[in-house]
């Protein structure tokens, strides 16, 4: 099915989807909202539906990215991380890249979400330490050394 979906051009099938089948948790925050598939006929293929749903989730991601940027949250560099599963998601990754305007990177880790959570936790821990040191509420020990070089700060 993925191979068939890759052959379709954007909008070629005439389908338009809204991926709120489980509500909308970000931006609209209403779990009662419902999904939608418009333009379906008796000749619509499953690959066309699949591609329309991928595009719907990609546009949903774009709305979230734009909202974050509107509120000053940097998405830097313009790069999103995905996990390729045996070549099955190349089409999805390309659609996301096209819709969001972000470069898509393929993670080699089979646990990308856990890895991202660990990195975010480490950054938060370092920033909390830095705040406490500046506020004079933390005794610095040898294990608490903060980077002094700006280039190192990006690697926290």
> Using an 8 Å Cβ cutoff, are 15 and 52 in contact?
yes
The answer to whether residue 83 scores a pLDDT higher than 50 is yes
Query: What's this model's pTM, rounded to 2 decimal places?
Result: 0.68
Helix H, strand E, coil C: the string for the chain is CHHHHHCCCCCCCCCEEECCECEECCCCCECCCCCEEECCCCCCCHHHHHHHHHHHHHHHHHHHHHHHHHCCCCCCCCEEEEECCCCCCHHHHHHHHHHHCCEEEEECCCCHHHHHHHHHHHHHHHHHHHHHHHCCCCCCCHHHCCCCCHHHHCCC
> Scanning the structure block, which residue is given the tokens 């940097």?
74
Token reading at 68: 């974050």
pLDDT tens by residue, 2-47 = 778 887 888 889 999 999 988 888 888 899 999 999 999 999 999 9
**Do the beta carbons of residue 63 and residue 23 sit within 8 Å?**
no
The pairs formed by 69-74 with CB atoms below 8 angstroms and a separation of 24 or more are: none
- Which CATH architecture is the domain 2-108 placed in? 2-Layer Sandwich (3.30)
Confidence bin at 156 (pLDDT 50/70/90): very low
Domain ranges of the chain: 2-108, 111-156
N-term to C-term CA, the chain: 41
Q: Is the pLDDT of residue 81 over 70?
A: no
- Of residues 94 and 152, more confidence is placed in 94
């Amino acid at each position: 099915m993925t191979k068939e979906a890759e052959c379709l051009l954007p909008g070629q099938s005439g389908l338009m989807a809204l991926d709120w089948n489980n509500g909308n948790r970000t931006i609209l925050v209403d779990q009662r909202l419902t999904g939608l598939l418009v333009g379906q006929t008796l000749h619509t293929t499953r690959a066309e539906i699949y591609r329309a749903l991928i595009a719907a989730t990609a546009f949903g991601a774009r709305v979230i990215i734009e909202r974050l940027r509107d509120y000053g949250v940097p998405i830097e560099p313009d790069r999103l991380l995905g996990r390729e599963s045996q070549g099955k998601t190349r089409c999805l990754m390309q659609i996301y890249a096209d819709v969001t305007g972000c470069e898509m990177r393929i993670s080699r880790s089979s646990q990308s979400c856990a890895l991202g959570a660990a990195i975010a936790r480490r950054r938060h821990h370092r920033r909390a330490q830095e705040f406490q040191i500046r506020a004079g509420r933390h005794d610095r020990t040898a294990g608490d050394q903060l980077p002094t070089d700006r280039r190192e700060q990006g690697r926290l």
